[in-house]
Amino acid sequence: MSVATDKAQVRRAFSRAIADDATAVIGERLAERLVCIDINPQWAADIGGDGKALQKHYPTAQVIALDFALPVLHHASGYRVLADAEFLPLQSASLDMLWSNLCFEWADIKQTLKEAARTLKPETGLLIFSTLGPDTLREARAAFAKTEPDAPLRMHTFMDMHDIGDLLVQTGFSEPMLEMEQLTLTYAAAEDALREVHNWGAGCALQTRRRGLTGRRQWQAAMTEYEKLFADEAGRVPATYEIVYAIAWRTAPKETVINFA
């Protein structure tokens, strides 16, 4: 089920986001999947990114970088368009490829997939994206659950891979291929792990999230619990990301047959 996000909060978060290890690694893994795809796009779009990965793999392509956080576009490659993923200012059936790395989870994914289907060329248009799955930051969820009764309102909710596959078929895509992997990064302290999440811009943006700051004592209790539960022998703590990779082709529109007999 798609979750309702606060767009103003998402825009603020990604406007001040800085580069981090997690998004870079996931972007590289997503790009590896392009090697096995036989496509040479003339027009390609990067939703929520700077377009550089597409330009690297397809140097002759016309690349459009789209984001609704203006600072993201300052370092973009190709055409730069300030736009919402749910309402793309692009002509229908105008794209050969649409790429997105860790963007769809911050939007209404069903509406975003509908827009992707609308803008991709039927039969030949390719959608490739990565998104976060529900097991993301399970360590932080467990720590906050131990120390804060309303912890779920602190953490964003992500869709299951199978639900994403169903949505792809429902919104006009065929032959969806989905993969899931767990990426675990380690940090010197629990606060370092969550600071990277904050720097990335990936804080909770649910409309139902709990407003207000966590008190210092409550925060420290959660960080202590995090390290108690998950620190290894060297004292380093993990942060797990569940990554879903999806590839699908735009389905040809169904023909309507009218029998006048």
pLDDT at 131 over 80: yes
Question: What's the chain's average pLDDT?
Answer: 83
Looking at the chain, the whole-number percentage of residues with pLDDT higher than 90 is 52
pLDDT at 68: 81
Mark out the alpha helices in 2-45 (DSSP H runs). 7-15, 21-32
Neighbour-count burial of 74, counting CB atoms closer than 10 A to its CB (0-12 exposed, 13-18 middle, 19+ buried)? exposed
Run of H or E including 237: strand 237-250
| Global pTM value | 0.82
Phi, psi dihedral angles at 68 (to 5 degrees): -100, 5
Instruction: State how far the Cα of 139 lies from the Cα of 229, in Å rounded to an integer.
Output: 8
Q: May I ask the CATH class of domain 7-250?
A: alpha beta
* Domain residue ranges of the chain, discontinuous segments joined by +: 7-250
pLDDT at 77: 79
